[in-house]
């Protein structure tokens, strides 16, 4: 594993970053790539500096697998933004594959592997349990214990 501070990354796999709404704001919904989203751009840079294979994976790229297949006009548009905002040109792809370790995307919902439960669901349940813990410590404690048991059952703890 490669480390960047407290973060660990698999050096044998690649990490995909979506463009619109993930590394760049998405207000206009047009072809223009908008302003950088600083936390995601910073993460992408840290990973790149650590030697990770970071790639842009985007619907803008259609079904193309590699830089070689992508039309020059599309590459130029994305790479101009990357030059200005990332300081490097990551590989481009329109597809996931079995070597992708993680996908950073504003539309994706991460699912607990083989369990059919989203982390988003768990986060909402946990937030409710914490809120109840503050409002009514007795009920909140029972709710928190239920959440802990659920997380253990899912193999998360």
Q: Is there a contact between 37 and 22 (Cβ–Cβ < 8 Å)?
A: yes
Among residues 69, 65, 74, 71, the alpha carbon closest in space to that of 31 is found at: 74
* Residue of 83 and 67 predicted with greater confidence: 83
Nearest-5° angle of CA 69, CA 72, CA 77?
120
Q: Average pLDDT of 3-9? A: 74
Mean pLDDT of the chain: 88
pLDDT for 65 beyond 80: no
- Rounded CA-CA distance 5/106 in Å is 24
What confidence tier does 30 reach under pLDDT thresholds 50, 70, 90?
Answer: low
Q: pLDDT, tens digit, for every residue of 85-118?
A: 999 999 999 888 999 999 999 998 999 999 999 9
Domain map of the chain by residue range?
Answer: 2-104, 119-153
Q: What is the pLDDT of residue 45?
A: 96
| CATH top class, domain 2-104 | alpha beta
Calculate Rg over the CA atoms of the chain. Answer: 19
pTM, rounded to two decimals? 0.81
């Amino acid at each position: 594993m490669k480390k960047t501070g407290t973060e660990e990354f698999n050096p044998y796999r690649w990490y995909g970053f979506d463009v619109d709404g993930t590394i760049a704001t998405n207000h206009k919904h047009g072809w223009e790539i908008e302003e950088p989203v600083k936390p995601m751009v910073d993460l992408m840079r840290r990973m790149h500096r650590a030697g990770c294979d970071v790639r842009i994976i985007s619907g803008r790229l259609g079904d193309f697998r590699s830089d070689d297949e992508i039309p020059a006009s599309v590459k130029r548009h994305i790479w101009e933004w990357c030059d200005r905002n990332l300081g490097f040109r990551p590989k481009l792809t329109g597809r996931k594959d079995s070597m992708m370790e993680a996908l950073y995307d504003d539309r994706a919902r991460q699912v607990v592997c083989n369990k059919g439960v989203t982390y988003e669901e768990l986060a909402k349940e946990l937030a409710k349990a914490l809120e109840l813990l503050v409002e009514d410590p007795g009920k909140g404690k029972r709710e928190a214990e239920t959440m802990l048991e659920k997380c253990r059952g899912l193999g998360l703890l």
